[in-house]
Structure formats: structure tokens, C-alpha cells
């Protein structure tokens, strides 16, 4: 006969009490008896608690069919994910129709990026096209793109890598323009590394492609009074660049920043961070970068009409400097990238953009660029005695960024 929970508890209690009564007669020492009695009552309490739980709390029942269904569901999702088009997950393939333009025939291609004109003999780096795994980047159709941009304003904001993409776009588009003189810099300026604004107008199609030099995106400030002598300049992390008002009325707005966020271009030359008017001498570069990106995100959310303006942020473009800071340009792309796919800067960009309340597209070019150790300027730049494994030859990798950008249109 099965006993109920209360009956079991009462029976155990009676047995323990009887045992204790017998032992009391045998123990001469009260102290020893008290210790053993206390232990027994603890054991009794635990047993009673267990019986109570077993009797009144139903055991957990595992639904095996639910597990099977969940596994099946996960498997289905995994299968579906294999067919997703990720424009930035792929490889470089040889394509004899490349390059898409001749930099020597494009007046807006900076001389320092025209590697062929600067003596590079190997032309193989020009023949590579980016191919995503599960889809294709739309083939560049210059006539179609020119029509899509008619009456528009395209703005690039960032450092010299942004200027390279700006130059690439202009050279790509000029191929479809019959009258080359109808394409001109609006202020008559020549390409310069230091000038803060460059704008090229395609008058036949009534649109402009502009570049604003803003290497940090946020404001560079003065040195506060009583600052340590090592402080020569400040980066105001909570204020966007003073020229940001000129970026607003655009149709396509492309940002980047990253290559100036290092000790050599900050702390070692006296550059430190400032927030709310106060110096932050102990702030790390990554914390500062995050703060600056959040300032940028807030500005986009409050100042840019994303119903009109399509906003992009291109992630960090990895360089191929060796650990000893030497630059060796290879003959071909790496078959398998030996470099780190991830970048802390890129991770911060993706996280900030994902948390924004308005639509912004992250152009995650970090993985695709990591293969192209063959495509850097190297010794074929402005100064052959100073090799360059950060910037890219034109034509080259920036053209692929623009092909992806055009595919979003």
C-alpha cells in the first residue's frame, strides 16, 4: 500500500524519536548526546523537505517530440542561411574585362595612387573582381548609374581612404561621359591631400560627387588652460565636425574613419580626448572611438532626413604592414586570408549602427580587403622611398567598394 506524504513523514519522525530515546540511556555525556541529536534533527528536516517536494511538486517532464521539432527547425534555418546573399562574404576571381577605367586618362585619379604610371610592372592586380559566395555584385553599367544619379548629390566624408573611394567613383562614371570637359571640380581645385572640400560636377547629368575631409568625424579643439604640457591638441568626442552642416542635404552619404585613431597620430604628437569640456587623459583609443561614433549616430538620427538620404558607413580597411612595419606587396591576392578578419574598429561600427533608430547601411569591407595584399600602393606612390601598405592603387579595391555601393541603388 502506498503511503501518503504526511504518513511517511510521521513514520520517519517516530523511528528517529525512538532511536534517540534508546541512545539517551546509553550516552553518559549530555554534550555528546546534544550534538548527535542536533545532527539527527537536521537529517530529519532534509528528509521531510524532500518527501514534501516529491509529493506536492510535479516532476519536470521533457517533451522529446519538442526537442526533435526544435532540432528540425534549427536545421532548416541553418540550411536556409547557407543561401543568404552576403555581399561581403566571398572571394576574388580573375576577370579579364577588368580594370573598368584607365587612371592615366582620369584627371581626378590622384597621382600617388596611379601605380602603373608610377612604374609598377606587374598588372595582374588589376584583373580581380569581387565575387560573393551565394550571389553576384551587379555588373557595373555606367549608363544606368549615371541616369540613377541624375539630379542627385553624392557625399563622401572621412579620411584619405574615403578620398580614394571618391576618386574611384568619379573615374568609373567618367567612362560613360562623352564630353569629358563637362566634368569639373566646382572650385577649380586640383586633388590635394590637405584640402577639406573637393566637389566634382557632372553637368550633363546635373549631379555632384563631393568629398569632405574629416579624419575623426568629430571636432578638433583647442588646448584648455592649465593642461599638461604634453597636450598639443584635443579631439572633442561629443561634438561633430564643424563642417557637418554641409553634409546634410545629400542623396547618398558615405562615411568612414579609423586610420587616424592610433597612438602615432594621437598621443605621440600630443593629441588627447575631451568630453563635456574636460580632458580625458586616461581614456583609451577604443573608448574614444566608441564615444565619437555614438556622437555621429546621434547626429544622423537628429539631423539627416533618411527618407531622402541613403546613409552608409564603410568599415575599417585593413592594411598589410608586417609586424616589423615593413611593406611587402605580393604578386597575387592571398588564396586564404592569413590576416585577422575582424577589426575592433569594424566591430564598434557594426554595433553602433545596429543600435541606431534610423536606417543606415554598414559596408563591411574588412574581410574582402584582407585578401588583397597585392593591391596596395607599396613603392609605386608619391615617394618610392616610403612604401605604403595602407592605401590602394587605382584602379583597384576601391572600385569594388563602389560596385557594391551602386548595387544598393
337 is catalytic: no
- Active-site entry in 259, 364, 376, 391: 391
How far, in whole angstroms, is CA 344 from its chain's centroid?
Answer: 8
Euclidean distance between CA atoms 318 and 340, whole angstroms = 9
Euclidean distance between CA atoms 155 and 208, whole angstroms = 8
- Active-site entry in 160, 298, 337, 407: 160
Euclidean distance between CA atoms 167 and 6, whole angstroms = 86
Q: Is 202 helix (H, G, I), strand (E, B) or coil?
A: strand
374 is catalytic: no
Sign of CA dihedral 69, 74, 78, 80: positive
Residues 207, 150 contacting (CB under 8 angstroms): yes
Q: Is 111 helix (H, G, I), strand (E, B) or coil?
A: helix
List the end-to-end C-alpha distance of the chain, in Å, as a whole number.
Answer: 79
Cell of 91: 572571394
| In 241-330, beta strands by DSSP E | 252-255, 271-275, 278-280, 310-314
Q: How many CB atoms lie within 10 A of CB 309?
A: 18
160 is catalytic: yes
β-sheet bridge partners, residue 254: 156, 312
- In terms of DSSP H, where are the helices of 203-250? none
- Active-site entry in 369, 374, 388, 399: 388
Cell of 398: 576601391
Active site residues: 160, 388, 391
Amino acid at each position: 500500500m502506498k503511503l501518503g506524504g504526511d504518513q511517511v513523514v510521521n513514520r520517519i519522525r517516530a523511528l528517529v524519536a525512538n532511536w534517540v530515546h534508546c541512545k539517551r540511556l546509553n550516552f553518559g555525556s549530555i554534550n555528546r548526546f546534544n550534538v548527535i541529536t542536533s545532527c539527527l534533527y537536521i537529517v530529519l528536516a532534509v528528509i521531510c523537505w524532500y518527501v514534501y517536494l516529491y509529493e506536492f511538486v510535479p516532476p519536470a517532464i521533457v517533451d522529446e517530440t519538442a526537442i526533435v521539432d526544435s532540432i528540425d527547425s534549427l536545421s532548416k534555418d541553418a540550411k536556409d542561411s547557407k543561401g543568404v546573399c552576403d555581399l561581403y562574404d566571398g572571394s576574388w576571381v580573375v576577370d579579364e574585362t577588368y580594370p573598368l577605367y584607365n587612371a592615366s586618362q582620369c584627371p581626378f585619379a590622384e597621382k600617388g595612387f596611379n601605380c602603373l604610371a608610377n612604374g609598377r610592372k606587374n598588372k595582374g592586380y588589376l584583373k580581380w573582381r569581387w565575387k560573393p559566395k551565394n550571389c553576384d555584385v551587379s555588373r557595373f553599367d555606367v549608363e544606368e548609374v549615371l541616369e540613377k544619379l541624375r539630379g542627385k548629390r553624392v557625399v563622401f566624408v572621412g579620411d584619405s581612404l574615403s578620398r580614394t573611394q571618391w576618386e574611384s567613383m568619379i573615374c568609373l562614371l567618367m567612362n560613360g561621359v562623352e564630353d569629358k570637359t563637362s566634368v569639373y571640380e566646382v572650385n577649380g581645385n586640383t586633388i590635394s591631400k590637405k584640402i577639406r572640400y573637393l566637389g566634382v560636377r557632372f553637368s550633363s547629368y546635373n549631379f555632384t560627387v563631393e568629398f569632405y575631409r574629416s579624419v575623426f568625424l568629430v571636432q578638433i579643439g583647442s588646448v584648455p588652460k592649465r593642461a599638461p604640457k604634453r597636450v598639443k591638441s584635443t579631439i572633442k568626442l561629443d561634438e561633430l565636425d564643424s563642417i557637418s552642416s554641409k553634409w546634410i542635404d545629400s542623396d547618398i552619404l558615405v562615411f568612414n574613419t579609423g586610420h587616424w585613431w592610433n597612438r602615432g597620430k594621437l598621443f605621440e604628437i600630443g593629441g588627447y580626448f575631451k568630453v563635456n569640456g574636460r580632458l580625458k587623459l586616461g581614456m583609451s583609443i577604443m573608448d574614444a572611438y566608441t564615444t565619437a561614433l555614438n556622437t555621429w549616430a546621434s547626429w544622423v538620427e537628429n539631423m539627416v532626413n533618411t527618407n531622402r538620404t541613403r546613409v552608409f558607413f564603410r568599415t575599417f580597411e585593413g592594411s598589410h604592414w608586417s609586424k616589423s612595419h615593413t611593406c611587402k606587396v605580393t604578386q597575387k591576392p592571398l588564396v586564404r586570408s592569413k590576416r585577422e578578419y575582424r577589426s575592433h574598429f569594424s566591430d564598434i561600427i557594426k554595433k553602433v549602427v545596429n543600435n541606431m533608430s534610423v536606417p543606415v547601411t554598414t559596408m563591411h569591407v574588412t574581410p574582402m580587403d584582407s585578401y588583397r595584399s597585392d593591391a596596395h600602393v607599396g613603392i609605386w606612390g608619391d615617394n618610392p622611398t616610403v612604401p605604403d601598405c595602407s592605401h590602394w592603387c587605382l584602379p583597384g579595391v576601391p572600385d569594388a567598394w563602389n560596385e557594391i555601393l551602386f548595387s544598393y541603388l
